[in-house]
């Protein structure tokens, strides 16, 4: 590029910073790799030009020029304008047109184009270069006066609004006035004279608004337009978009200056957009629409109905054939489905944009599989092309999109657990069970849910709550059992007494059908039709996941408490159970009563047994407590053994990690506050002391009171509970091992792993291990039959991470409980924080994201330290994660990097995790190759 006026120092500067990359005539200075510098659009134009595709000549001003512009205090950096002028000259040479030449005027479009597509950053300025004189040239060239004046008034309008900052309404008002005056219904009804008059009016508006004439000089127009594009980078819309999408401010935007081509020069002209394959289904057909005799904005404006792209074959067969061929070439070149813009000017095809196409989940999977079959990409690339969220989406039922649009939206809450649910509204868990038993589908509607509602949630199609956040009981349980859930729907008033609920003036009663979309948080009145999605019916998805299995290093296990869940997870490809929560078995139906019975006397019975062991005498009361406790524990043992047999059989041949009882005991009692209310009400009403209901309420209240803790999260639970009440450990050990022995005798291959929760100090684990192993030896001796089992621990207390080497001396496996680990490392109570300050923290970006959803880097550091220390003490230590993070793709990538053996997640996340684990392995390999 010539450089006649730059000083020597400027030369040096400009040698380091090249601000302009031209393209045209089959040559381009940039290419597809230069997205950083040229933006996505500029890189695409250069690449297409190199590939010999018909691209109107033009040039791209780099993102560096944009940054230099701001560094210089919103002034063009030295030499930039000279280079622009020169590049324009080059385009003039290429096209044979000239800026401001009435005989053959050069018109250009000016567009922003950042590295990442940023919709809404800046509109396009078309037809730049027009003025009263060049307009005449355009009219002369096209022989179409109306076209000329229309182009001119559009240019003033667009440039005035976008570049000069004049309110668009002023131009709109003038246009409306012109139409009224002419009696015109639409813009197209205005004739050339009317448009000329309108142009004059527009010019007047510009003068009035800016105090100056509309700039007629194309050079000045160009300068102002470039500056306007630069300025748009720091416009409010662009800044907000970047903030939301975590795009850095210092990327800058490129500016593309491209020779205008006109799709509105008659019936042999046209413009359109098209995808190389159907972005909804993935089918291999050209998909898109176009209009003849139109400019780009007309396709969008909706004044005329565009034609399907296939019709172009009839309208302009040659252009269509060329386009078809170009589309195929571009798809092959970019090795992905392309989203194309084109214009046909008097039969001649011009390509204006190519970029990778957005697509639905179903299309993403089909396209990836098809492209492997077609030899375009390999399996690894196919695996990389599908987003984990798309896999999740494919496994959820969805409402039919058309029906959704037609339905009455009742309210919106939090999209707590994805999927579509339809059923009759019921307001209690018992009613839910009752109605389901008689064959109804129900949606459970509650103000909020508690563990007492579990049986109702389990049978409901979906759950709707008025209160509670993304980690309320309803949300967490719903995700766990794979039920759609809308939580925290604040607009909803639930009236249990009247058995009805209302929102926004609409009321529905028990039994009325409602539809709940857990993916969007919407609630509809009536039964919307759904589109179902079974894993078994999606061979292409299974194909992708099969390829993923060949790539990933991480195993994928599941969190499951019941045989049905285990079987479901196994069908989804789970390679083991990483977390079986025994206490969930305590909560169902009649069991809760047995558990409460045991808990009411657990401490007394344990102390009495200690005294008995020390040879001290016992009172009647103590002996009765022991008897009652032992009886309840014996019942529980039988029930738990049955449960374990089911799970171990379902997972025959695969490991099953069973966690001993974890939550504090008062979680199994009725709520302390409701008991207090009862007791105080009895008191205030002067109820006789021996009234049986009063006695029961007092007994339960006293028990709840004695077990109440100020901070239960940091209280008596997990291993602490097992050390305080050793019978829990012994009973559960017997139940697990006897179950394993029974399953083994039935010819299956049970692989139990016993996991101790909440270990902080190695001595806690040592004592528990002694207790447990003594019991295990006794079981095996009694049975006369050996059974192998592993002994391991959760790592969920920060302290445990620091002493993981000591712990690994005893534990054969670690499983990270990242929910507790996050709670304690941050000092957050998840229940309190997520509904409160944590929401604000994430909203205001004090935290980059919710650490309960994706692992925080410090938690990863702790996990890495624990893993490394643990393996130092025991090289074959098995390490996994069983917190909710185990199903989160970003967290899975962390787990891969620090070398875990497996992630364990809820059954419905298993396919997602399989894909995410493979992608983590691919990213790592890519980084290594770099």
User: For binding to a second copy (CB under 8 A), which residues are involved?
Assistant: 673, 676-677, 680-681, 683-685, 709-716, 720, 723-724, 758, 760-761, 763-764, 767, 796-799, 802-803, 820, 823-829, 831-833, 836-837, 840-841, 844-847, 856, 858, 861-862
CB of 244 to a second copy, least distance (A): 17
Return the residue matching tokens 């159907």: 278
For residues 305 and 711, which CB has a smaller minimum distance to a second copy in the complex?
711
Count of Cβ atoms closer than 10 Å to residue 793 Cβ: 31
CB of 675 to a second copy, least distance (A): 11
- d(CA 408, CA 424) in angstroms, rounded, equals 16
| Encoded tokens for 597 | 């019975």
User: In terms of Cα–Cα distance, which of 597, 575, 601 is closest to 586?
Assistant: 597
Residue 139 has which token pair?
Answer: 């009219």
Question: At residue 640, what are phi and psi to the nearest 5 degrees?
Answer: -65, -40
CA angle 335, 55, 251 (to 5 degrees): 65
Q: How far apart are CA 160 and CA 162, in angstroms?
A: 6
Nearer to a second copy, 685 or 930 (CB): 685
User: For residues 246 and 928, which CB has a smaller minimum distance to a second copy in the complex?
Assistant: 246
Cβ 828 to a second copy shortest distance, Å: 6
Q: What is the rounded distance in angstroms from the CA atom of residue 837 to the CA atom of residue 842?
A: 9
| The two three-digit tokens of residue 895, written as one number | 């787990």
Cα separation, 928 vs 930, whole angstroms: 5
Percent helix, strand and coil across the chain, each to the nearest 5: 55, 15, 30
Closer residue to a second copy in complex, CB, 714/746: 714
Q: Which of 267/681 has CB closer to a second copy?
A: 681
* 199: three-class secondary structure by DSSP: helix
Residue with smaller CB distance to a second copy, 148 or 757? 757
Under DSSP, is residue 464 helix (H, G, I), strand (E, B) or coil? strand
Q: How far is CA 79 from CA 12, 217, 904, in A?
A: 11, 21, 59
**Which one, of 579, 572, 578, 580, lies nearest residue 549 by Cα?**
572
C-beta of 141 vs 713, nearer to a second copy: 713
Token pair belonging to 57: 């000549």
The tokens for 823 are 């709670």
- Give CA–CA dist 666/664, Å, rounded: 6
**Which listed residue (66, 489, 882, 895) is catalytic?**
882
Residue 771: phi and psi, rounded to 5, are: -55, -50
> Which residue in the list 66, 473, 801, 895 is annotated as catalytic?
473
Provide CB contacts within 8 A for 345, sequence distance 6+: 261, 262, 263, 265, 269
333 is catalytic: no
Q: How far is CA 703 from the centre of its chain?
A: 44
Nearest distance in Å: CB 766, a second copy: 8
Work out how close the CB of 831 gets to a second copy at its nearest, in angstroms, rounded to a whole number.
5
Is 473 catalytic? The answer is yes
Q: Are 794 and 861 in contact (CB under 8 A)?
A: no
Give the nearest distance from C-beta 448 to a second copy in angstroms: 13
In the complex, least distance from residue 627 CB atom to a second copy, rounded to whole angstroms? 24
The least CB distance from residue 759 to a second copy, in Å, is 10
State which residue, 345 or 856, has the beta carbon closest to a second copy: 856
Cα separations (Å) of 167 from 151, 175, 179, 614? 20, 14, 20, 91
Place of tokens 């491209």: 258
Q: How far apart are CA 659 and CA 603, in angstroms?
A: 22
Candidates 47, 51, 22, 24; CA nearest to 34 is: 47
Q: Which residue number, 17 or 698, has a Cβ lying nearer to a second copy?
A: 698
Residues serving a catalytic function are 473, 882
């Amino acid at each position: 590029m010539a450089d006649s006026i730059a000083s020597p120092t400027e030369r040096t500067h400009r040698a380091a910073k090249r601000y302009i990359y031209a393209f045209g005539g089959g040559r381009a200075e940039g290419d597809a790799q230069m997205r950083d510098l040229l933006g996505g659009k500029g890189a695409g134009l250069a690449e297409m030009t190199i590939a010999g595709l018909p691209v109107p000549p033009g040039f791209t001003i780099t993102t560096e020029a944009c940054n230099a512009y701001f560094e210089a205090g919103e002034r063009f950096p030295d030499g930039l304008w000279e280079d622009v002028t020169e590049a324009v000259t080059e385009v003039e040479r290429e096209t044979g047109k000239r800026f401001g030449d009435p005989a053959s005027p050069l018109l250009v479009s000016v567009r922003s184009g950042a590295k990442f597509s940023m919709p809404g950053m800046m509109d396009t300025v078309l037809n730049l270069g027009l003025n009263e004189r060049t307009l005449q040239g355009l009219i002369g060239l096209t022989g179409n006066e109306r076209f000329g004046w229309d182009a001119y008034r559009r240019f003033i309008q667009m440039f005035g609004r976008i570049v000069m900052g004049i309110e668009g309404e002023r131009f709109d008002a003038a246009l409306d006035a012109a139409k009224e005056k002419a009696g015109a219904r639409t813009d197209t009804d205005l004739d050339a004279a009317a448009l000329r008059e309108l142009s004059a009016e527009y010019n007047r508006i510009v003068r009035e608004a800016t105090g100056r004439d509309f700039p007629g000089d194309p050079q000045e127009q160009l300068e102002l337009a470039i500056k306007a594009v630069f300025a748009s980078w720091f416009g409010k819309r662009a800044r907000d978009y970047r903030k939301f999408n975590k795009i850095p401010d210092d990327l800058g935007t490129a500016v593309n200056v491209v020779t205008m081509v006109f799709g509105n020069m008659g019936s042999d002209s046209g413009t359109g957009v098209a995808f190389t394959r159907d972005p909804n289904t993935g089918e291999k057909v050209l998909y898109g629409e176009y209009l003849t005799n139109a400019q780009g904005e007309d396709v969008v404006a909706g004044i005329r109905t565009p034609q399907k792209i296939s019709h172009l074959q009839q309208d302009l067969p040659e252009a269509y054939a060329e386009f078809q061929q170009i589309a195929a070439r571009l798809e092959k070149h970019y090795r992905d489905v392309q989203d194309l813009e084109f214009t046909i000017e008097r039969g001649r095809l011009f390509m204006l944009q190519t970029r990778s196409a957005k697509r639905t989940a179903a299309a993403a999977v089909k396209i990836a599989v098809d492209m492997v079959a077609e030899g375009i990409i390999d399996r690894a690339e196919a695996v990389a092309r599908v987003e984990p969220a798309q896999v999740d989406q494919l496994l959820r039922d969805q409402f039919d999109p058309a029906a959704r649009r037609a339905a009455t939206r009742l309210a919106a809450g939090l999209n707590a657990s994805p999927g579509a649910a339809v059923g009759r509204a019921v307001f209690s868990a018992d009613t839910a069970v009752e109605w389901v038993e008689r064959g109804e589908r129900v949606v459970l509607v509650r103000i909020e849910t508690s563990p007492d509602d579990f049986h109702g949630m389990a049978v409901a199609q979906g759950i709707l709550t008025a209160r509670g956040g993304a980690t309320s009981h309803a949300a967490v349980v719903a995700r766990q059992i794979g039920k759609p859930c809308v939580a925290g729907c604040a607009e909803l008033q639930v009236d249990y007494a009247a058995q009805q609920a209302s929102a926004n003036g609409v009321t529905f009663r028990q039994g009325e059908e409602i539809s709940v979309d857990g993916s969007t948080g919407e609630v509809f009145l009536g039964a919307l039709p759904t589109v179902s999605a079974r894993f078994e019916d999606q061979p292409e998805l299974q194909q992708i996941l099969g390829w993923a299995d060949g790539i990933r290093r991480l195993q994928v296990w599941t969190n499951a408490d019941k045989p049905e869940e285990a079987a479901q997870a196994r069908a989804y490809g789970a390679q083991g159970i990483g977390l079986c929560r025994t206490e969930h078995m305590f909560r169902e139906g009649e069991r809760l009563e047995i558990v409460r019975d045991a808990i009411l006397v657990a401490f007394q019975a344990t102390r009495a047994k200690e005294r008995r062991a020390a040879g001290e005498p016992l009172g009647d009361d103590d002996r009765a407590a022991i008897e009652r406790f032992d009886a309840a524990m014996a019942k529980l043992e039988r029930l738990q053994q049955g449960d374990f047999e089911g799970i171990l059989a379902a997972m025959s041949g695969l490991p099953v990690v069973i966690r001993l009882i974890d939550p504090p005991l008062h979680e199994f009692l009725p709520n302390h506050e409701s008991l207090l209310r009862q007791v105080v009400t009895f008191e205030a009403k002067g109820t006789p002391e021996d009234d049986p209901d009063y006695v029961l309420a007092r007994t339960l209240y006293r028990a709840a009171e004695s077990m109440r803790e100020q901070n239960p999260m940091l209280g008596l639970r997990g291993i602490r509970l097992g050390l305080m009440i050793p019978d829990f450990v012994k009973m559960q050990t017997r139940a697990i091992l006897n179950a394993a022995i029974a399953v083994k005798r039935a010819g299956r291959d049970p692989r139990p792993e016993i996991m101790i929760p909440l270990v902080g100090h190695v001595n806690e684990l040592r004592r528990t291990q002694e207790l447990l192993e003594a019991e295990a030896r006794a079981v095996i001796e009694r049975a006369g039959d050996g059974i192998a089992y592993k002994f391991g621990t959760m790592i969920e207390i920060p302290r445990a991470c620091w002493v993981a080497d000591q712990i690994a001396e005893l534990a054969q496996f670690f499983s990270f409980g990242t929910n507790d680990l996050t709670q304690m490392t941050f000092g957050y109570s998840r229940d309190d924080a997520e509904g409160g300050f944590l929401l604000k923290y994430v909203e205001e970006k004090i935290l980059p994201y919710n650490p309960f959803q994706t692992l925080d880097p410090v938690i990863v550091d702790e996990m890495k330290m624990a893993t490394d220390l643990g393996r130092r003490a025991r090289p074959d230590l098995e390490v996994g994660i069983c917190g909710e993070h185990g199903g989160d793709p970003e967290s899975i990538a962390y787990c891969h990097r620090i070398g875990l053996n497996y992630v364990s997640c809820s059954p419905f996340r298993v396919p997602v995790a399989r894909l995410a684990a493979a992608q983590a392995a691919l990213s790592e390999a890519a980084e290594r190759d770099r």
